[in-house]
Amino acid sequence: MPVSVHSMCEPLEMEKSLTFDPVLVTRETKEG
């Protein structure tokens, strides 16, 4: 998964992803 690659490339991005994860999930759930 691209997310894993990004996390490995930049640990800082991982923290951002974790923060965005819930936001994206909520958006997907709302759309779904």
pLDDT in tens, 1-32: 455 555 555 666 656 655 566 676 676 666 65
- pLDDT value, residue 13: 61
Q: Identify residue 26 by its one-letter amino acid code.
A: T
Evaluate whether 6 touches 20 at the Cβ level (below 8 Å): no
Q: Minimal CA–CA distance to 7: which of 19, 22, 24, 16?
A: 16
Domain residue spans of the chain = 2-31
Residue 19 near residue 11, CB atoms below 8 Å = no
Q: Are 15 and 3 in contact (CB under 8 A)?
A: no
Read off the amino acid at residue 16.
K
